[in-house]
Structure formats: C-alpha cells, structure tokens
Amino acid sequence: MQPTIIFARFGVEVRVVPGGGAAGGLAGGLAALGARLVPGFDLVANEVGFPAALADCDLVITGEGRLDATSFTGKVVGEVARYAAERRAMLHDATTPGAAPLYLPATALCGALDPSAREPAAQLELHTVSLVEQFGNDAFANTTECITRA
C-alpha cells in the first residue's frame, strides 16, 4: 500500500485510523492533526445521561429506517442494543441466587429489515419489528399509525 499524502506530511496513516476510512475524511484529517478520536455514540450517550436512564427503564425501544448488518457497527441502533445487553447482564448478575433473573427487553423498530441484521440482533437479544413486513406500503403512507400499531 502506497503511503498517502497525509502520511508523508503528518506521519499518520488515516486509512488505518478507526473512523478515518472511506467516509471518515473529517476524522482522518483531525487524527492527522493529533486529535484523539472517540466513538461518537459513547460520547453522546454519556453527555445526555443515557446509561443512567437505561438503569431506570423497563423496556428499550430504538429504531432505524433500514436495519442491516451495518446497523451494528457503531450506529445508534446497534449501540443502544449493546448498552441494553450489558445492562441485562448486570441485572442478571445482581439477582438473588435462585431467583428468576431480571430482564430488560430491547426492540428495534425499522422500516425494512435486511436478513444480514438477524444474526447480530439475535446475539444482542434485540427483538426486531419491520413495519414493511407487517404493513406493506402502508408503512410509508401512515408511518406514525403503523408504529403505534406495531
């Protein structure tokens, strides 16, 4: 692999910087200038108090227009599911021996559900609901009503 102009100038190979790939022009440029890159979801989640809110809830609902394998590579849906799975594990560990484990269900509402999402969703125990599968074209014409009915 031939060094990039950025590597020649700044000594940072942005092609291997997490977040600095094909769509990571800004992240790669900032990394070349010495910025510390952090996962965006974790930063925002901590700023808005998401972990504390999750500790107080009984159900997690998230959503995306099209749920596919990439939804679980740092995007909001996958990260919300990951946080919920971690919270489930903590709840399970905190139960009294012999007692039924506590459970924190998580559901992702989506317009379309790509088959590539099924395995990562199952690994995180994320229940998926496709509005298109349930309601067909009505999912586009009457989205709010379909979400309510789902």
DSSP result, 58-113: S-EEEEEEEE-GGGGSSSHHHHHHHHHHHHHHHHHHHSPTTSPPP---EEEEEEEE
Q: What's the structural domain count of the chain?
A: 2
| Least-confidence region, from 16-20, 34-38, 52-56, 117-121 | 16-20
The string of pLDDT tens digits covering residues 99-142 is 555 567 899 999 999 999 999 999 999 999 999 999 999 999 99
**Does 94 lie in the same domain as 31?**
no
Residue type, 116: S
Q: Which domain holds residue 8?
A: 1-37
**Does 103 lie in the same domain as 72?**
yes
**Does 76 lie in the same domain as 19?**
no
Per DSSP, the three-state class of 130 is strand
**Does 133 lie in the same domain as 65?**
yes
Residue type, 132: V
**Does 62 lie in the same domain as 5?**
no
**Does 45 lie in the same domain as 33?**
no
**Does 96 lie in the same domain as 22?**
no
Q: Order of strands across the sheet with 60-67?
A: 60-67, 106-113, 126-130
| pLDDT over threshold 90, residue 88 | no
Report the pLDDT averaged over residues 56-67: 91
**Range 69-107 burial, b when 16+ CB lie within 10 A, else e:** ebbbeeeebbbbbbbbbebbeeeeeeeeeeeeeeebebb
**Does 17 lie in the same domain as 66?**
no
Structure tokens at 65: 């227009």
Rounded to 10 degrees, the C-alpha dihedral 139/142/147/150 comes to -60
Please give the mean pLDDT across all residues of the chain: 85
Report the pLDDT averaged over residues 57-63: 91
Share of the chain above pLDDT 70, in %: 85
**Does 45 lie in the same domain as 31?**
no
Local confidence band at 20 (pLDDT 50, 70, 90 cut-offs): low
| pLDDT over threshold 70, residue 96 | no
**Does 20 lie in the same domain as 63?**
no
Q: Is the Cβ–Cβ distance between 89 and 95 less than 8 Å?
A: no
**Does 94 lie in the same domain as 28?**
no
**Does 50 lie in the same domain as 110?**
yes
Q: Are strands 60-67 and 126-130 parallel, antiparallel or unpaired?
A: unpaired
Rounded Cα distance, 63 and 93, in Å: 28
Local confidence band at 93 (pLDDT 50, 70, 90 cut-offs): low
